[in-house]
Amino acid sequence: MQFCCTFGYICIYNILTVSDSIILSPRHPLNVSRNYLTFYDAMKRCLLGLVCLFVSIYSFGQTLESDRLALIALYNQGNGSNWGGNWVVPGNTGDSPCGWDGVTCAGGRVTRLSIMNTGAGGIIPQEIGNLTELTHLDLANGYMGYGFSGNIPAEISNLSKLEYLNILGNGFNPSGLSAIGSLTSLKELHMSTYGDVPESFASLINLEKCIMGRFGPLDGRGEIAFPNVVCQWPKIKVLRMGGVVFTTQIPSQIGNLTTLDTLELTGAPPFGSGSVAATWGNIPAEMGNLTNLRYLNLSYNGLTGSIPASFNNLTNLTKLDLSFNKLTGPIPNILGIPVAADVRINNNAFNFSGMEANISRLDAYGNQAKFELYAYVPLRTGSPSEGARTAAKSATLIAENAGGIKANNTYKWYKEGVLIATTFGDYSFFTEEGLYRVEVTNSMVPGLTLVSADYLLVVLPVTLASFDGKSENSQIKLTWKTTSETNNKGFEIERSADARTFEKIGFVDGNGDSKEINTYHFTDLNPLAKGYYRLKQLDYDGQFEYSKVISVKSDAAIVKVYPNPAQEYLTISGIARKQPFSIIDQNGRVVLEGLVADKGQINVKNLAPGRYVVSVDGESSRLSIHR
């Protein structure tokens, strides 16, 4: 620096001297010409010196001394006296901080800073922005109480060379986190979450590893919206978010992160037993696009729905953990996942369906939720929410909901907690009134026993002899008969599009007390293309029971396949919900199949021109493909 300053001052002196000689030689053209040349040469010679001078003047303000002062400010405002270590504070001008605990220097500047601020408290001062050569900043507090708190100063954006930032376990205000989004050189970020992740984080396009969440024993669990900004990180390889409950679902854009090697989204700390979080949502099928994944952990999230079939594409997995959710079956083909991978699906609501075929891939699959036992009678089945009572002294109990291949299943039937029968390959059992449950094992799935919810079979006041429906003139006419009634207030008529979620569409008065055959009617004037119906019989004392469920297809519901002939796409309309479809060629082979929604398009570009049959919702239509 001293050389640059001296050289620069000499250059300025020479220029002024040559300029004076030019002015003093007006009557000697030759001398003037030579002096001009001398002036020109002097300018060229001095250019480098001037640049060096200005750079030196600038760098004088960004020196190891300015770094030392920034560290002292951090020490003073961050309760550094509680850190321990060998920091020399306040020290003297010119002291070197290199070698202080956690301080690393290179090229005469502080480049790495690591402080374990365990419960010391304090804030981060704005002088942190003067450490402009930092590439590594670790301020984690070790999870033993809050370390730093308050806002992260906006001056942190001056750390343009920062590649590593760890602020886990501190108590920063969520509103002050947005400044981190300006650190576009970051490759690795560790931080706790105490609020939604700022939108500015979308700018962290060089991020390769990110760990966000509440991992400490004193952190508890936080609620945040799923940070969709992570789906805009093109280089991310490791993404871990733990100890949080997400208030919004995983977006389908998660499938864009094809660089991911590790993905963890967990609702409880990895070292804790925890409990299943509140219902979150389904696993997006696009997650199957993450074919570079080796580690996938989605445990403790309250996830619902099923395992996407696209998970069969995750052929590089060494670990898949879907435990402690609310996932249901059947389990799709996941044989594409390596045999050596550790696959955990325990503590969900799966039955045996799909487990038998995939058992070679399953390492932990026990403790599944109870399944519903129901009864078949010529009267009506009970409501699971009311203990599944039925209107009869005897009934055939059905354990079909245990799933699996019947021949592989063994059913142990209990009445009032006592084993009364064991059946093999037969999920039905005829019995009389009482409190029942059944336990089911499967010879192909030795590590799981499925247990039914209790089922109470009792005598009820209304005997339902029949319940039928038919379509006439684009309306659904329902008819049912009773052979005896006691205290019968009437019947609510309920309808569903999927046989699971029902809504009330009408009410018919009952006959109170009667020993005669009574016939009832109800007309659905605006039926679904295919509707499911049940009766809710109400007593005057508030008790109620459900009938069996029947399905009726409207004669107005005509499944249409168009255009016909087709070229590249065809459309299906006239179905109530997503339905399986298949396209069959003239040799009887299925050449295309899948699911289609009402007015949904099917891509037939890859089918050769010719004649086909399209089968959907139990109906078949002829199709021609011309090009």
* Best mean pLDDT range from 242-246, 280-284, 388-392, 613-617: 280-284
Inform me whether the pLDDT recorded for 349 exceeds 60.
Answer: yes
CA distance 256 to 233: 9
Inform me whether the pLDDT recorded for 618 exceeds 80.
Answer: no
Residues 478 and 452 in one domain: no
> Which of 242, 176, 183, 225 has the alpha carbon at shortest distance from 207?
183
* Residue 188 placed within a domain: no
What is the model's pLDDT at position 218? 54
Q: Per-residue confidence at 377, pLDDT binned at 50, 70, 90?
A: low
Please write the tens of the pLDDT for every residue from 444-494. Answer: 999 999 999 998 776 556 778 889 999 888 899 999 998 778 888 999 999
What is the model's pLDDT at position 147? 79
Inform me whether the pLDDT recorded for 589 exceeds 90.
Answer: no
Statement: the pTM of the whole predicted model exceeds 0.85: no
Number of other residues whose CB lies within 10 A of the CB of residue 39:
16
What is the model's pLDDT at position 9? 40
CA distance 595 to 617: 11
For the chain, what is the mean pLDDT?
82
Task: Give the lowest-confidence range in 259-268, 296-305, 376-385, 478-487.
Answer: 376-385
Q: What percent of the chain has pLDDT over 90?
A: 49
Inform me whether the pLDDT recorded for 383 exceeds 70.
Answer: no
Q: Per-residue confidence at 12, pLDDT binned at 50, 70, 90?
A: very low
* Residue 450 placed within a domain: yes
What is the model's pLDDT at position 75? 92
> Contact 190/165 with Cβ under 8 angstroms?
yes
Amino acid at 361: R
Residues 396 and 443 in one domain: yes
> Contact 56/42 with Cβ under 8 angstroms?
no
Q: Which of 29, 44, 59 is the last residue of a domain?
A: 59
> Contact 255/289 with Cβ under 8 angstroms?
yes
* Residue 235 placed within a domain: no
Domain count along the chain: 4
* Residue 618 placed within a domain: yes
Distances (CA, A) of 553 to 311, 469, 471, 532, 556: 35, 9, 7, 9, 8
Q: What angle do CA 374, 375, 376 make, to 5 degrees?
A: 135
Phi, psi of 356 (to 5 degrees): -60, -45
What is the model's pLDDT at position 278? 64
Output 333-339 pairs: Cβ under 8 A, ≥24 positions apart: 333/309, 333/357, 333/358, 334/307, 334/358, 334/361, 335/360, 335/361, 336/312, 337/311, 337/312, 337/361
**Residue 619: exposed, middle, or buried by beta-carbon count in 10 A (0-12, 13-18, 19+)?**
middle
Q: Which of 553, 580, 603 is the last residue of a domain?
A: 553
Inform me whether the pLDDT recorded for 352 exceeds 80.
Answer: yes
Dihedral (CA of 242, 245, 247, 253) sign? positive
Inform me whether the pLDDT recorded for 8 exceeds 80.
Answer: no
What is the model's pLDDT at position 307? 96
* Residue 160 placed within a domain: no
CATH number (domain holding residue 567):
2.60.40.10
Residues 501 and 468 in one domain: yes
Inform me whether the pLDDT recorded for 308 exceeds 90.
Answer: yes
Residues 405 and 452 in one domain: yes
* Residue 300 placed within a domain: no
Q: Which of 457, 487, 510 is the last residue of a domain?
A: 457
Inform me whether the pLDDT recorded for 271 exceeds 60.
Answer: no
* Residue 196 placed within a domain: no
Inform me whether the pLDDT recorded for 1 exceeds 50.
Answer: no
Phi, psi of 368 (to 5 degrees): -85, 155
Determine the structural domain holding residue 616 and report its residue range: 560-625
Q: Say if strands 149-150 and 164-167 run parallel, antiparallel, or are unpaired.
A: unpaired
* Residue 340 placed within a domain: no
> Contact 494/544 with Cβ under 8 angstroms?
no
Residues 424 and 449 in one domain: yes
At 354, list the tokens. Answer: 């799909």
What is the model's pLDDT at position 242? 85
What is the model's pLDDT at position 119? 60
Residues 435 and 495 in one domain: no
Q: Per-residue confidence at 21, pLDDT binned at 50, 70, 90?
A: very low
Residues 530 and 564 in one domain: no
Please write the tens of the pLDDT for every residue from 246-264. Answer: 888 999 999 999 999 999 9
Residues 494 and 414 in one domain: no
Strand, coil or helix: what is 575? coil
> Which of 569, 573, 567, 583 has the alpha carbon at shortest distance from 626?
567
Element (H, E) at 469: strand 463-472
| pLDDT greater at residue 10 or residue 225 | 225
* Best mean pLDDT range from 208-217, 345-354, 379-388, 506-515: 345-354
What average pLDDT score do residues 523-537 get? 88
At 227, list the tokens. Answer: 């940070």
> Which of 493, 476, 464, 452 has the alpha carbon at shortest distance from 381?
464
Inform me whether the pLDDT recorded for 414 exceeds 90.
Answer: yes
Residues 417 and 475 in one domain: no
The per-residue DSSP string of 362-399 comes to -SB---PPPBPPEEE-SS----GGGT---BSSEEEEE-
Residues 533 and 576 in one domain: no
> Which of 121, 126, 178 has the alpha carbon at shortest distance from 147?
121
Residues 432 and 477 in one domain: no
Residues 542 and 564 in one domain: no
Inform me whether the pLDDT recorded for 104 exceeds 80.
Answer: yes
